[in-house]
Structure 1
Amino acid sequence: MEYYGNSKTPQGASKATTRLRTFTSDTKISLQMSRLRSYESPLKKKYDVGKYDLAENYVFQESMQELIPKSTPEYVDKGEHYVERIMRALHHFKQCALIGPSGTGKTHIVYLVAEIAGLPLWEINCGLQTTSFDLFGRYVGLGKENWVDGQIVSWCRNGGILYLDEANMMKQDVATRLNPLLDTRGHIVLNEKDNEIIPRHPRGFVVISMNPFSIEFAGTKPLNAAFRRRMNAWITFDYLSTGANVNKDEVVLIRERGGVSKKVALQMVNVAAQLRYNYKRGEIPYAPSVGDIINWAKLVSDGTGVLDAAEETIISTTSDDMTTQETVRRIVKSAVEHGSGQAPIQEIG
Structure 2
Amino acid sequence: MEYYGTGKPAGAPSRMVKRLRTFSQESKISLQISRLKSYESPMKKMYDVQDYELAPNYNFPDAFSQLVPKNTPEYVDKGEHYVERIMRALYHFKQCALIGPSGTGKTHIVYLVAEIAGLPMWEINCGLQTTSFDLFGRYVGLGKENWVDGQIVSWCRNGGILYLDEANMMKQDVATRLNPLLDTRGHIVLNEKDNEIIQRHPLGFVVISMNPFSIEFAGTKPLNAAFRRRMNAWITFDYLSTGPNINKDEVALIRERCKVSKKVAVQMVTAAAQLRFSYKKGDIPYAPSVGDIANWATLVADGISVLDAAEETVISTTSDDTTTQEMVRRIVKSATAAEPRLEAAQDA
TM category, shorter: 0.7 to 0.9
Deviating runs (4+, > 2 A) in structure 1?
26-29, 39-42, 213-216
Match of 1:154 in 2: 154
Taking only aligned residues, the RMSD between alpha carbons, in angstroms, comes to 1.7
Structure 1 segment 36-185 matched on structure 2, within 5 A: 37=38, 40-185=40-185
Q: CA deviation at 1:27?
A: 12
**C-alpha deviations, 1:102-136, integer Å up to 9, x for none?**
00000000000000011100000002401101100
- Greater gyration radius: 1
Match of 2:31 in 1: none
Q: C-alpha distance in 2, partners of 1:157/1:164?
A: 17
1:28/1:186 CA distance change after superposition, 3 Å: closer
Q: CA deviation at 1:341?
A: 2.8
Q: C-alpha distance in 2, partners of 1:57/1:128?
A: 36
Q: CA deviation at 1:236?
A: 0.1
Q: C-alpha distance in 2, partners of 1:339/1:311?
A: 21
**C-alpha deviations, 1:55-107, integer Å up to 9, x for none?**
02122111111111111100000000000000000000000000000000000
Contact 2:164/2:208 (CA < 8 Å) preserved in 1? yes
Q: C-alpha distance in 1, partners of 2:46/2:140?
A: 46
Q: C-alpha distance in 2, partners of 1:110/1:79?
A: 18
Q: C-alpha distance in 1, partners of 2:281/2:143?
A: 55
**C-alpha deviations, 1:28-49, integer Å up to 9, x for none?**
99xx737x75x64331221110
The aligned amino acid for 1:122 is: W
**C-alpha deviations, 1:203-255, integer Å up to 9, x for none?**
00000000013444110001111000000000000000000111000000000
Q: CA deviation at 1:144?
A: 1.0
Q: C-alpha distance in 1, partners of 2:186/2:17?
A: 36
Match of 2:220 in 1: 220
Q: C-alpha distance in 2, partners of 1:75/1:59?
A: 25
1:33 aligns with 2:58: no
Q: C-alpha distance in 1, partners of 2:114/2:271?
A: 32
1:250/1:145 CA distance change after superposition, 3 Å: same
1:252 aligns with 2:275: no
Q: C-alpha distance in 2, partners of 1:123/1:257?
A: 27
The aligned amino acid for 1:217 is: F
Contact 1:41/1:70 (CA < 8 Å) preserved in 2? no
Q: C-alpha distance in 1, partners of 2:207/2:143?
A: 35
Q: C-alpha distance in 2, partners of 1:45/1:99?
A: 26
Q: C-alpha distance in 1, partners of 2:268/2:177?
A: 45
1:27/1:245 CA distance change after superposition, 3 Å: closer
The aligned amino acid for 1:264 is: V
Match of 1:302 in 2: 302
1:230/1:28 CA distance change after superposition, 3 Å: closer
Q: C-alpha distance in 2, partners of 1:305/1:127?
A: 36
Indicate the percent of aligned positions where both proteins have the same amino acid.
83
Local SS of the residue matching 1:123: strand
The aligned amino acid for 2:170 is: M
* Matched length: 313
**C-alpha deviations, 1:7-53, integer Å up to 9, x for none?**
xxxxxxxxxxxxxxxxxxx8999xx737x75x643312211101100
Q: C-alpha distance in 2, partners of 1:318/1:42?
A: 37
More strand as a share of residues: 2
1:50/1:144 CA distance change after superposition, 3 Å: same
1:138/1:310 CA distance change after superposition, 3 Å: same
State the TM-score, normalized to the length of structure 2: 0.87
**C-alpha deviations, 1:185-207, integer Å up to 9, x for none?**
00000000000000000000000
Q: C-alpha distance in 2, partners of 1:90/1:221?
A: 25
State the TM-score, normalized to the length of structure 1: 0.87
